[in-house]
Amino acid sequence: MDRIFTSILRSLAADARASVSTIAAQAGLSQSACTRRIQALEASGHIQGYGARLGHRELGFKVTALVDITLGTQVEEDLAAFERAVSEIEGVVECALVSGGQDYRLKILARDLDDYERLHREHLGRLPGVVTINSSFVLRAVPTRSEADALFAAR
């Protein structure tokens, strides 16, 4: 990963809609060379997709819940069954297998507390292998650095 690849990744992370000519100028490349570099980053998995950051509150999702879940076993088949089931639940935007006192941490968006209670009752409580569910609600999201800034600060 050289300086040019890093420059391209930073540019795209800051604005995925930036034109190739803008990115090329920032990286000190021609447009065709920049396009080849972007394609190489996509092919290598360094760039895994492009998307928009949505204002979930503005779209009516006023509640963000962080949900810690503990399963009864750590058998691979049970983990896989849980992961398949949780991937089908509306509102679950992140699911991570974690270390510590719980097995999974979910991030869930809901319209309000009643909507979250419905998701809990109809879906979370019915997930395979679940022993405990512990929900915390985000009161305020504190602005932090972007993933790109965090990734490249460590270099």
Which part of the chain is CATH 3.30.70.920?
63-137
Which part of the chain is CATH 1.10.10.10?
3-44
Local confidence band at 135 (pLDDT 50, 70, 90 cut-offs):
very high
Q: Which of 36-40, 48-52, 132-136 has the lowest mean pLDDT?
A: 48-52
Local confidence band at 154 (pLDDT 50, 70, 90 cut-offs):
low
Those residues with Cβ within 8 angstroms of residue 120's Cβ, 6 or more apart along the chain or in another chain? 133, 135
* C-alpha span between 37 and 31 (Å, rounded): 10
Res. 9: pLDDT tops 70? yes
* CATH class of residue range 3-44: mainly alpha
Multiple choice CATH, 63-137, 3.40.50.1360, 3.20.20.210, 3.30.565.10, 3.30.70.920: 3.30.70.920
* C-alpha span between 145 and 126 (Å, rounded): 36
